[in-house]
Amino acid sequence: MAGAVFRTGFSVASNQLISEPQMMIKLSFRVQLNLPSWLLLSLLLLAVPAQSASRKPVRAKHAMVVSAESLATFAGLDILRSGGNAIDAAVAVGFTLAVTYPEAGNIGGGGFMLIRLADGQSTMIDFREKAPMAATRDMYVDSSGNVIPEKSVLGPLASGVPGAVAGLLMALEEYGTKSRAEVLERAIAYAEHGIAVDLRLEESLVGYMSDLEKFPSSTRVFTKNGEPYKEGDIFKQPDLAKTLRAIAKDGHDGFYEGEVADRIVEEMKRSGGIITYDDLESYEAVERTPVFGSYRGFEILSSSPPSAGGTVLLEMLNILEGVDMKGKGAHSSAAVHAFAAAAQQAYADRALYIGDPDFVEIPQQQLISKEYAAQRRKTIQENKATPSTDAPNAGKEEGSHETTHFSIIDQFGNAVSTTVTINSLYGCKTVVDGAGFVLNNEMDDFVSKPMNPDSYELVGFEANAIEPEKRMVSSMTPTIVVKDNLPYLIVGGRGGSRITTAVAQVILNVIDFGMNVQEAVDFGRVHHQWRPDKILYEPFTLPQDVLVNLRAMGYTLEPTSIANGRVEVILREPSTGFLLGAPDPREEGVAAGF
């Protein structure tokens, strides 16, 4: 990996770029282990103090990987340097995150992979989880029609049928060039030999241990002698290593049939879930056409239903295209008003119309059309908020950031934007005993009861009601922006319902406000999602006079204790062709390229 450079959301070597081989050499002098240098790095690399946001984006000439975790980023970069393409690298990153980022990047969940090939062709692989065949419309409500707290979020009954393994393998088989063994090598080694626990993982485990301890299998995996793993401990996952080996050997059948399937079904029977062998054997990832649109001359490709992300993103951008955002200025009262109003409109349509396209009719082309956006724009009043109760389709703050995103571009011109999820951190908090991975709690993303908020305070209607084998609506928004027929921005993020507004703001920051890509990522964010009717803003984001003006317009404003999304972005510099990686400091993301 000579010549590779990287930047993380934390400071290394006095904030100077350092090559991975240099770091390996420094560390390898201190221990004598018969392990590959990249694996040795995983055992010794610990988190260091947070870096300021004044950094520049990472520059590379040929290829770039940006993810939430360093070892996963380097796994992808290693694949690229060995001649693999962006799809190969994405699969390697996805499986590695299942080991190194277990609270979010887990094979017990699902997601969406947006691919734009060097020849301009594009596709989206939908590996969203599905409701089990035994699922029913009212499975999370009592006899009086009231939603039962925690039933759709805690324990295996909250789990949809996992799709991540099927989706990653489909991508590899259809568009990759490497073998399963090659892309899974690092993930298997990290699971078997262990990774060094950093402060992020320690704090995450401590914060969720009260729920994890409710399940003996989870306690066995995530504790050391009954105590949560601490910073500096070596975290080994032998059961997960065995599962990954089965996938490397037998592919789809190594997960959805055989011993791993046995383990999943046994866990269901033991802990009250309803996923069966038939659910597992019948699960398939599917390819879908991405949504296409434009913004001020830039082509936008994004996720299509059952992800609502791309549709909401394009509706917002179409509304804002008729507004002089540059003239208003970033974070001005007028710009925030326009953005919040556009978000209100788009999220209201999300609630009413978006569902699994295999089950419901979605007026997709209408929702993303310029004409429809012009109609919606006319309903926005200047200098006056529109109450959500008056929107045409007419609490608490959830702290989970369950999802993880990675952006990749290779030396051949292929670009991949991938978001994977298990919903809440550690999903339903249940590890499949003997298989080593956490199950998702994506059933909470269905509408258990119309207009009843989910864990992200999102509401919905019948389009997203529970049905057997249906895929639940998602906020994931993997996106590729194209300029002059070449990838310009590769972007996506984590953060539940806040993902789409985060992606939109990065695009606006670059295109309208002229920020460099790292500034665009670091810049403070606001969020509005129709219901609840309030603007959530990150602390120190909006000046006091802007807050006063927005309140005078009729907005309710609330500082958020959690980030308004966490994004990982690559920009291709049109004038030079250089690739600029911008990790999000909100999650200590990592960019690496060569």
d(CA 402, CA 151): 18
d(CA 528, CA 179): 43
User: Which residue type does 462 have?
Assistant: E
3-state secondary structure at position 476: coil
Handedness of CA 220, 222, 223, 227 (dihedral sign): negative
End-to-end distance of the chain based on CA atoms, in angstroms?
8
Nearest Cα neighbor of 542 from 288, 324, 339 is: 339
Nearest Cα neighbor of 72 from 476, 407, 503 is: 407
> How many C-beta neighbours within 10 Å does residue 111 have?
30
Helices 370-378 & 309-321 angle (0-180, nearest 10): 70
> How many C-beta neighbours within 10 Å does residue 449 have?
16
- DSSP states along 47-108: --PBPPTTPPPEEESS-EEEESSHHHHHHHHHHHHTT--HHHHHHHHHHHHHHHSTTTS-TT
Nearest Cα neighbor of 93 from 402, 408, 401 is: 408
- Give the β-pairing of 403-409 and 486-491: unpaired
3-state secondary structure at position 315: helix
Which one of the listed residues 311, 403, 430, 560 is annotated catalytic? 403
For the record, the structure tokens of 357 come out as 């396209």
3-state secondary structure at position 340: helix
d(CA 42, CA 190): 7
Task: Please give the distance of CA 589 from its chain centroid, rounded to a whole number.
Answer: 12
3-state secondary structure at position 63: coil
Is 289 marked active-site? Answer: no
> What are the distances in angstroms from CA 91 to CA 173, 347, 366, 417?
10, 31, 34, 11
Report the DSSP beta bridge partners of residue 559. Answer: 537
Nearest Cα neighbor of 64 from 409, 575, 479, 488 is: 409
> How many C-beta neighbours within 10 Å does residue 89 have?
31
CA atoms within 13 A on the CB side of 246: 22
- Give the β-pairing of 415-421 and 298-302: unpaired
d(CA 68, CA 407): 10
Nearest Cα neighbor of 287 from 132, 167, 129 is: 167
Backbone angles phi, psi at 152, to 5 degrees: -95, 5
d(CA 222, CA 426): 11
Stated as kind and residue range, the H or E segment containing 580 is strand 579-582
d(CA 163, CA 186): 21
Catalytic residue IDs: 403
